[in-house]
Structure 1
Amino acid sequence: MADDQDKLAQEWADALLDGDDSDDDPLGNLENVTDPSEAGSADVGNDDETLADEWAAALAETEQEEVKHEKEQAFLSTQTHDYDLTDMGPDAKAGSSSGKRDLDFILDIPLEVSAELGRTKLLINELLQLGQGSVVELNKLAGEPLEIYVNGKLVARGEAVVINEKFGIRLTDIISPIERVKQLG
């Protein structure tokens, strides 16, 4: 395709150099036709500046595509990484094949456990009116179970108990894993 373009460019250059007075014009008086589909309806004339502008635009477009391709390649080269993968030896293979999971590494992860007696919504005005001895009505009825949350996710329900003058919760219902998954979605 590049050879065809070079050949066409040479023919254009020859036609422009010959001028309008030549009868052996290789382009057949189609110097100003830029699109082959317009060959039948083209006005015959000598417009060197238009031709030069069109060639310059085509070259600029080609250069822009090359620059874009170079930028894409540079970006892709920064996105690839070489990783050093080492064989962990027979100890790693023996641990996975024994069937026993060693989960000791997760035993020291801290979790936030909270119990919710109930909820309510207050206006700022009502909140500012609260004082010692004020009563706040919650959305739960007396005798309903407390809800136990771990890291903000409901995991169980229970009832309040007093042990050695401290409050505690006796778990009465553990949320099944299926229900916990449904709460996530």
Structure 2
Amino acid sequence: MTIDPGNMQGQPTDPPHDVTRLGGFGAISVRLAIEVGGIRLKLTDVLNMAPGQVHVLDRRVDQPVDVLISERLVARGEIVSVGDKFGVRLTEVLPGNGL
């Protein structure tokens, strides 16, 4: 999917699939989330969290981020700056995810 940087709504400028087959289902909203990384902590460490602490995630800065829809991995990408907001440029759409 190609995103026009001037299009802040994230609408594709050239849809890769025939979306007409979705009918009324095309209007359903889904939650798209970007996962930068994660860390496993003991519950004691979570309860002792304090402002200013830094936790190192399990992903390097140069690695792609995961793009999830309803907690399901559907693509990978890279974080970009769009004006004063963050965005994600898709670098890979995973096969078999229905997209």
Identity %: 29
Cα distance, 1:102 vs structure 2: 4.9
Higher helix share: 1
Structure 1 stretches of 5 or more lacking a match?
1-100
Cα distance, 1:128 vs structure 2: 2.3
Cα distance, 1:138 vs structure 2: 1.1
Distance change (3 Å), C-alpha of 1:126 and 1:102: closer
Distance change (3 Å), C-alpha of 1:127 and 1:102: closer
Which residues in structure 2 correspond to 1:63-142 (within 5 Å)?
A: 102-142=21-61
Q: Could you tell me which amino acid in structure 2 is paired with residue 143 of structure 1?
A: D
RMSD: 1.8
Higher strand share: 2
Equivalent in the alignment of 1:154: 73
Structure 2 stretches of 5 or more lacking a match?
1-19
Higher relative contact order (CA 8 A, sep 6+): 2
- Cα displacement string for residues 120-149 of structure 1 (whole angstroms, at most 9, x for unaligned residues): 111122112221111111111221000001
Secondary structure class of the residue paired with 2:39: coil
TM-score, L = length of structure 2: 0.71
